[in-house]
Amino acid sequence: MTDAVIVRYALTGGPFGTTDGRAAVYELQERLTAALAGLDVGELDGNEFGGDQVAVYLYGPDADRLYDAVEPVLRSLPHRPARATLRYGEAGDPDAVRYEIDLDTGRAEPPPARPKPGRRRKIVAAEGDVFRIPLDGVRSVYGQVVAKHDYWTLVVVFDALSLDAVDGADILLLANTFEDCLADGEWPIVERRAVRADVPWPVYKFWGSTTPPVIVDHFGRVFREATPEEARTLPSRSQTTANAVTDAARAAFGVGEWDDSYDEFLPDDKATVARVIGS
């Protein structure tokens, strides 16, 4: 599934929107899944909240057929402004062409010609895959896929500039992300090995439609209601782009400046399943 339909909706009430606004997006995803059932035109791959907007990702073999199948559902979400990007080809394909559609006014420009056949296949990463993130053209840092569930991919980045150093290295970063850089080969997979026992499995608060929020793990499994203190201090469960993880990894090794937003990728031993749930 190399083509994509990526829809971005504006959010109000903060960078991640309001509780009701997020709930409307989750309901939209359920309706998209239902609309695609049995059509064989593509699938929903998840969302990304942040920066006063949410992006919804869909992938399929033909962006036009995929968009035609879900257009009425996409227009039904009232969040505006909203634009859909149709991408013909993989994210890392230099020959991939794109055009945008305003969900209120129609297509922004005529559809471009389809790319030539022979595009690269999407790489499907698996739990345990060790990958490298290029830092500066010479050095690479190593990471691992430690868990996968639906469209969620939990990765860690080790304090390791060589594959041999991975086993004994500290875990520098931990993030729930998309598979973009893995699927497109920007994070080359070098081998598969067992996930280390010392991964600090994270917990989050999740509001959804419940009050108070509940505590969930990286898979979204619900443990219990959050206490008022946990509701105040635990991070919210969300996904980040693989590019943001790349930028954070580079900054950690002196390639670029560290941004405060990268702090969310730092492992927090106070927000783990072992610490909060006790198992």
pLDDT digits (tens, 9 = 90+) for 177-207: 877 678 777 888 889 999 999 999 999 988 7
What does the pLDDT read at residue 209? 61
Q: For 10-19, 31-40, 81-90, 119-128, which range has the lowest pLDDT when averaged over its residues?
A: 119-128
Report the distance separating Cα 155 and Cα 141, nearest Å: 13
Comparing 270 with 170, which gets the higher pLDDT? 170
Which are the contacts of 215, defined by CB distance < 8 A and separation ≥ 6?
203, 204, 205, 206, 222, 223, 224, 225, 226, 230, 234, 276, 277
What does the pLDDT read at residue 72? 87
* Inter-residue contact 206 to 163 (CB < 8 Å): no
What does the pLDDT read at residue 94? 67
Q: Does the pLDDT at position 64 exceed 50?
A: yes
Q: Does the pLDDT at position 146 exceed 60?
A: yes
Question: What pTM does this model have?
Answer: 0.59
Asked whether the bond before 267 is cis by omega within 30 degrees of 0, the reply is no
Of the candidates 147, 157, 130, 143, the one whose C-alpha atom is nearest the C-alpha of residue 217 is 147
What does the pLDDT read at residue 88? 84
* Percentage of the chain lying above the pLDDT 70 cut: 88
Taking only Cα atoms into account, the Rg of the chain, rounded to an integer number of angstroms, comes to: 19
180: three-class secondary structure by DSSP: helix
**pLDDT (average), residues 82-90:** 86
What does the pLDDT read at residue 262? 93
* Percentage of the chain lying above the pLDDT 90 cut: 41
* Inter-residue contact 10 to 52 (CB < 8 Å): yes
pLDDT digits (tens, 9 = 90+) for 210-250: 567 889 888 788 899 999 999 889 988 878 888 899 999 99
Q: Show the domains of the chain with their CATH numbers.
A: 3-107 (3.30.70), 129-274 (no CATH)
**Structure tokens, 68:** 């035609």
* Inter-residue contact 161 to 254 (CB < 8 Å): no
Question: Which amino acid is present at 251?
Answer: A
What does the pLDDT read at residue 120? 45
Asked whether the bond before 212 is cis by omega within 30 degrees of 0, the reply is yes
CA distances from 105 to 9, 82, 101, 108, 265 (A): 15, 10, 8, 8, 38
Q: Does the pLDDT at position 121 exceed 70?
A: no
Work out the number of other CB atoms within 10 angstroms of the CB of residue 106.
7
What does the pLDDT read at residue 147? 93
Report the distance separating Cα 229 and Cα 68, nearest Å: 46
Confidence at 278, pLDDT banded by 50, 70, 90: confident
What value does the mean pLDDT of the chain take? 85
pLDDT digits (tens, 9 = 90+) for 15-42: 889 999 999 999 999 999 998 988 888 9
pLDDT digits (tens, 9 = 90+) for 162-176: 999 999 999 999 999
**Nearest 5°: phi and psi at 97?**
-110, 155
Of the candidates 48, 47, 40, 52, the one whose C-alpha atom is nearest the C-alpha of residue 1 is 40
Report the distance separating Cα 110 and Cα 121, nearest Å: 27
